[in-house]
Amino acid sequence: MVSPFEVLDVDEDADDEAIERAYRERVKRAHPDQGGSIEEFQLVRRAYRELSERDRNGDGDGEGVDPADVDLAEGSDAREPRSTRVEFLDYEAVVDYGWSLDDDELFRKASHADLDPDAHGRLLVHPDESLLEAAERSGFAWPFSCRGGACANCAVYLAEGELSQPTDHIMPDDLAERGFRLSCNGYPLTDELSVVFNVKQRPELDDLILPPGPFTRR
Ligand code: FES
């Protein structure tokens, strides 16, 4: 067993903010896209989850994570990490209903709005898939253009969870901090995500959009 504090390289009396900061830094380095391994990536995720749950449950110490038993789906192969569950919502529905992206009740409202299945629903992202790839495998036509981090045509708004970004992506820091991410090469860093797709029509993304081309959807 390895202490989750050790995995995240934080002191045992670290507060939530320090743990969150350490996790974000650590999970970036552990991500398979950045030279880490799936095992290390899952170990970091599990350590973070354990510390988060410890806080919620009021437990005083993290029990420890076993590197040989990281983040396994029940009944799955022992080395297979779990898929990520995604609840998605089309930005067009947000506009049509006059909702706001930063409304904490956004997805609850969407659940009660009887939207089409391609406008609001759920999908699974397998461990080796980007969010856009998972949407396409599930039969959805989300917007994209370059598929290489050079535009914002595939942008999504992250209401919950975390999605990785390639190091050389185009999204400015202020927009990334507000929750905008690229779905074409964004890989889930959490077990659950809530995302609004099709946000490329937001005015703050105007300058980052590529004009329609042969590989552009919507
Ligand atoms: S499609 Fe251009 S960055 Fe994703």
Q: Please state the pTM of the whole predicted model.
A: 0.66
Q: Is 214 contained in some domain?
A: no
Of 151, 130, 167, the closest CA to residue 209 belongs to 151
**Contact present, 93 and 119 (Cβ < 8 Å):** yes
For the chain, helix (H) and strand (E) counts, in that order, are: 7, 5
Is 218 within a domain?
no
- Please indicate, yes or no, whether residues 88 and 59 belong to a single structural domain of this protein: no
Domain count, the chain: 2
Is 76 a member of any domain?
no
Q: Is residue 173 part of a domain?
A: yes
Residue 194 is inside which H or E element, if any?
strand 192-197
Question: pLDDT by residue (tens digit) across 15-63?
Answer: 887 887 787 778 777 766 667 776 677 788 778 777 876 765 555 555 5
pLDDT score at 25: 78
54 close to ligand 1 (CB < 6 Angstrom): no
Q: Which atom number of ligand 1 is nearest to the Cα of residue 185? A: 4
- Structural domain of residue 114, as residue ranges? 84-208
Last residue of some domain: 69, 102, 123?
69
Q: What is the CATH number of the domain that holds 65?
A: 1.10.287
| Residue burial 119-137, b: 16+ Cβ < 10 Å; e: rest | bbbebebebebbbbbbbbe
163 lines ligand 1 (CB under 6 A): no
